[in-house]
Structure 1
Amino acid sequence: MSLATSPQPRTVALPVEFFAGLRQSALAAHAGATTLPVDAIRDAGYAAGKALYDHFAAWLAEQGEEHPDRLSDERFPWLVEAYFHGIGWGRVELQVLSEAVMALDVSDWGEVADAAGGCLVSTGLFAGFFGRLADAPISVLEVDATHVGPGRSRFLLGSVDVMAYVWEAMERGIPYDRAAASA
């Protein structure tokens, strides 16, 4: 008897302490290595984000919604927020900064609890997730968003070229919101 069915996307719940442990382990394991451990952490998040997209698509179907690539622009932000909150990551809010850059504000976010080195997994996770959604490479940049409050973080999302422009402008001292608006 064969149980050949289409594979369902799988997720695993992790305690928020996972993020600090991953960061500490990567730094300890790569002491003296030529590659940066932060890249490995982001890469792990990226792979997870690409897979999480499949879980999101299955969740949408369970909710009676369209496939992610067919969602209306009006419903998409609300459904993304409901999804991430429902699976325990925290709250997300999408905001348009310009025609080329979106801001993603997170609160009550698991990784922010111990994000002394930034939200490395989340940066990769969002690049993988939104890249699959866009069917194109998406670059994600975590920015200093002290105005959003403790336990919160802000990420900028855009094409690789646009985010390179924003990063270069920020290195010249231009605030990220101005750089994003001119991208």
Structure 2
Amino acid sequence: MPHTSIDLNDHQMVALSRTALASLRGTLLNDAAISGASHLQEAGYAGSESVFQSFKEWAKGRIDGDPGELDLEEFGELASGYFSDAGWGSFTLGSIGDAVATVDSGDWREVDPAVHLPQPACFLTTGMLAGFFGQLADTPIAVLEVECRTMGASRCRFLLGASEVVGNIYEGIERGMEYEAAVQAA
């Protein structure tokens, strides 16, 4: 897919440097610990409607019809192109069985490669993806990041699914299960 630019003003968006995002995340996490992560997730979710509308506008010049009518591979390529053009990075869509969809990115830009954390840290993204894919599916979607480059992983991996399913996966991880096993148990 060719690289294009997005007119931020026309798409109800603003540019934010990666440094500013990293600073915001660091300040919230240092000052508010767990609630800082929640605030970032809520902000991502709150902005997801504008992101989704921007995606639909951007897609008009690239496909005929509604993006939601594309098959998974075509939609994944289209959405990855949009998020890359918007400065977030590229990704691939997949699934683990029938339980959850996956979003995998080796270049996701919420990550600050200089920061090393013991847990996933793309909090703004988890909220944004929940809202974005929830609007696409026209039903609430929960998102859980299970791999993150801030932890030394080669990619950021987000699991997307029904709230109950993702909640069960989270509980399994909290009990010490690897996420793949928690997905199978869900």
TM range (shorter): 0.7 to 0.9
Paired amino acid for 2:28: A
Whether the aligned pair in 1 keeps the contact of 2:68 and 2:75 (CA below 8 Å) is no
Residue 60 of structure 1 and its aligned partner are, at CA, apart by: 0.9
Q: Which runs of 5+ in 2 are unaligned?
A: 1-8
Match of 2:45 in 1: 46
CA offsets, 1:71-116, max 9 Å, x none?
2334111111111112221111111102120111112211112564
Whether the aligned pair in 2 keeps the contact of 1:112 and 1:152 (CA below 8 Å) is no
| Structure 2 residue 90 is the aligned partner of structure 1 residue 91 | yes
**How many aligned residue pairs are there?**
173
Secondary structure of the structure 2 residue equivalent to 1:41: helix
Match 2:155 to one of 152, 156, 159:
152
Match of 2:168 in 1: 165
Secondary structure of the structure 1 residue equivalent to 2:156: strand
Residues in 1 aligned to 2:61 and 2:47: alpha-carbon distance in whole angstroms:
21
Aligned residues: CA RMSD: 2.6
Identity across the alignment (%): 37
Q: How does 1:47-86 map to 2 (within 5 A)?
A: 47-86=46-85
Match of 1:3 in 2: none
Indicate the structure (1 or 2) with the bigger Cα radius of gyration.
Answer: 1
Residues in 1 aligned to 2:89 and 2:111: alpha-carbon distance in whole angstroms:
10
TM-score using structure 1 length = 0.82
TM-score using structure 2 length = 0.81
Match 1:9 to one of 11, 23, 28:
11
CA offsets, 1:146-178, max 9 Å, x none?
7x9656311111110000111112222222112
Structure 1 residue ranges, 4+ long, deviating more than 4 angstroms after superposition: 27-31, 148-151
Match 2:26 to one of 24, 27, 46:
24
CA offsets, 1:98-148, max 9 Å, x none?
2120111112211112564611111111111111111111111111367x9
